[in-house]
Amino acid sequence: MDNFLTKDVFGIQREVPLNYVQREADTVFTDSLNRGHHIVIFGSSKQGKTCLRKKNLEDNEYITVHCDHRMDLYSLNVNILKQAGFTVQVSETKTINGKAKVKVGFGWDLFGKANFETEAEGEKGNAKEYKPLELDPEDVNDVIKALKSMKFDKYIVIEDFHYLKDETQVDFAIELKAFHENSDITFIIVGVWLEENRLIALNGDLSGRIKSVNADEWTDENLMLLMQIGCDLLNIEIAEIYKKSLIEKSLNNVYIVQEVCYELCIENGVREQCEEKIEINCGNLDAIISKVISQHSGRYNNLITNISEGFQSTELEMHKWIMYAILKADIDRLEKGLKRSEINTLLQAEHPRKQDLNPGNLTQALKSIASLQVKKNTIPIIIDYDNSNLKLNIVDKGFLIWLSDQNIEELRQEIGL
């Protein structure tokens, strides 16, 4: 039997790591699947949202649609139909909104001819005819009808939901209610935010029809177990004091813990399971944590610049002042989230046009903070606004650790404040 490889245990990888830890999120996820609820998996960047889904579902149990900021409801539903197995072609017929309808069917022949599929009946083959359907991708009833026609019975995973434009998120949240009431299809929506009831905020009718799974929460016990399983697989030992130190300094970020453990192994020459147990030298732990964080230094610097510039030059420069509020707050406060009222108080005291400001100026800028990052190609996003709890959240804990090691005064000067 081959030895376990370090890269398959520690570090970030495409597949589920061998040291995967079952936690509260897994229990909530599997329970929600059994009850037929739509599911929202939310949390910070690189905190195991995709791993959670892959661990608890077989590859043949779901299809996946990846979102981007250019998608509207029309293109999102077309992508769902394509991933479900339909061939989709634009029709000459228009929808009531003036967009082209689409023809969907099995196979490539959609030019008015019937498509055929052979069904086995004992030793005989029976040709079953499928005629292309013409439908409006913006009409959820048409989409449900199409999926039912092919007896579609898989979960539909919508990855990176946070990249969709606000209006598309609202449109899809409204559509989810119809899917719940008029079909057996279950959606699994994955997004980077810390707001538990975001989709219910978009459509109150989803209350009771959707379950949120918090993939962001990693307890000290979860992370200690993660490291211990990894050490057992590789036949190595990391002293308890260093494990605790890593958890504390990583702010319970599983990505940083995994990457630092990988780098520690490589520095100690452990690339696969050891024949005899060895103790890992962790004397360079702080330096390795800095190394892992500094890999994103350029991205974090660009974030500060891009947010400060906003969408365009404006008189009030609200996005620049939001970044100023972030840079002025201490790390503990940022970790808990910065309340809109706190930012507003700061701006009322220090903004040069404080007499001209109103809460609406700030709210509008905060609501657009995610779309601004997407437009500036800051992917995955680092800052998000929780409109339900009126709070600005840092959804990449690596940014907080990086900030704690920077000269904040110099960063303020760079954005001109």
Joined tokens for residue 36: 């037929």
Confidence of residue 107 (pLDDT cuts 50, 70, 90): low
CA distance 37 to 31: 9
157 and 197 together in one domain: yes
Is the bond preceding residue 380 a cis peptide, omega within 30 degrees?
Answer: yes
CA distance 263 to 270: 10
**38-43 vs 210-214, strand pairing mode:** parallel
133 and 48 together in one domain: yes
Joined tokens for residue 127: 């040709």
Domain annotation covers residue 37 = yes
Q: Are 338 and 326 in contact (CB under 8 A)?
A: yes
41, pLDDT greater than 70? yes
pLDDT single digits (tens) 175-223: 999 999 999 999 999 999 999 999 999 999 999 899 999 999 999 999 9
Domain annotation covers residue 69 = yes
Would you say the pTM of this structure is higher than 0.95? Answer: no
pLDDT single digits (tens) 131-140: 678 889 999 9
Its sign, for the CA torsion 355, 356, 360, 362, is: negative
What one-character DSSP code corresponds to residue 356?
A: G
Backbone angles phi, psi at 214, to 5 degrees: -85, 100
Number of domains in the chain: 3
Domain annotation covers residue 18 = no
182 and 266 together in one domain: no
Joined tokens for residue 214: 């918090």
CA distance 221 to 202: 34
pLDDT single digits (tens) 229-249: 999 999 999 999 999 999 999
Compare 221 and 118 and report the one with higher pLDDT. Answer: 221
Q: Are 343 and 392 in contact (CB under 8 A)?
A: yes
Residue 87's domain comprises 24-214
Backbone angles phi, psi at 140, to 5 degrees: -60, -30
CA distance 158 to 234: 35
Burial pattern 203-238, b for ≥16 Cβ within 10 A else e, equals beebeebbbbbbbbebeeebbbebbbbbbebbbbeb
147 and 210 together in one domain: yes
